Amino acid sequence: MKFLLLGSEGQLGTALQKKLSTLSIPFEYFSRKDLNIEDIGQIKKYLSGVDFDLVINCAAYTSVDAAENNTQAAFLANEIGSKNLAIYCNDYSKKLIHISTDFVFDGNKNSPYAPSDITNPINIYGSSKLAGEKHIMELCSKYIIIRTSWVFGGKGNNFFSTVCRLAKTSSPLSIIGDQFGSPTYVFDLADAVIASASSLVTDKESKLESIYGIYHYAGSPECSWYDFAEYILNQGAIAKKLPHNFKLQKIKSSEFKTAAKRPQYSALDSSSFCNAFSCKPSNWKQGVDELFFSEIL
């Protein structure tokens, strides 16, 4: 069993490297600077001499607001890159796990989205990710698409790191209280990806025929950005990693203008994934506690 990890220097890619190394699972990895998946010629050239059973694709254009003014770049990475991988995996009989997003939905629902729910993205980032999904479904016969949301922890800028940084300033924090979703701890997501990848490699093909498809894996319970920030600040203060005298203000999304429109509600139902691969949803509160109390910070 050997995995190929693409997008290795991103938030999830870095977490996966740590988890795979800890579990002593063999893997090869490429960052964007090593391999540009927008170029199918590069994919064939660089992967021709690499031995692996399955591709885990974490490579993506993930800057939601910047995508509004960089449409071509977003679609090149998220649509064309995914299309190229789908073609390659199908042509060379490789299995593919692809990471997608809750932003393929419009946010008009008021209960967690199931994988079968109708997609209707409301921003460029979501549209580009959905376009990539469609190519994979059409062009690759052995794939799993994992939609996730509000990923935090680990490398890079994310909501957790931003709240922690701003809490150390004297400025009050204004956090949106009317957008709801499923925060997902990056190391839980990495565990989930590895669990599904291991099944795809070790299970019999007759079983896998009913497993291939789209899944959701995200955190529980659902909450607002305000709820999420409040828990981070409280636990950070208890752990003596953040000041106690923080000022937190709940605002409406209409008061916080961003280039890209966000879904008002994008919580994900992870039950089909957890049933298929015998795992639990990410508990985002436990994830926050681990970041503060296990000396990761």
pLDDT value, residue 297: 44
pLDDT value, residue 151: 98
Q: Which amino acid is at 58?
A: C
**Which ranges of the chain have pLDDT less than 50?**
296-297
Burial degree of 81 (CB within 10 A; 0-12, 13-18, 19+): buried
Q: Which amino acid is at 186?
A: V
Burial degree of 262 (CB within 10 A; 0-12, 13-18, 19+): buried
User: Domain residues for 24?
Assistant: 3-293
Q: Which of 125, 143, 185, 226 is catalytic?
A: 125
Total number of domains constituting the chain:
1
Question: Which residue blocks in 140-251 are alpha helix, DSSP H?
Answer: 159-167, 186-202, 205-208, 225-238
Give the tens place of pLDDT for each residue, 160-190. Answer: 999 999 998 877 899 999 999 999 999 999 9
Q: Which amino acid is at 201?
A: V
> Distance between CA atoms of 56 and 39, rounded to whole angstroms?
17
CA angle 49, 50, 53 (to 5 degrees): 135
> Distance between CA atoms of 247 and 230, rounded to whole angstroms?
10
Give the tens place of pLDDT for each residue, 266-279. Answer: 999 999 999 999 99
Is 143 a catalytic site residue?
no
CATH of the domain at 253: 3.40.50.720
Read off the pTM.
Answer: 0.96
Q: 53 near 65, Cβ under 8 Å?
A: no
Give the tens place of pLDDT for each residue, 56-81. Answer: 999 999 999 999 999 999 999 999 99
pLDDT value, residue 295: 59
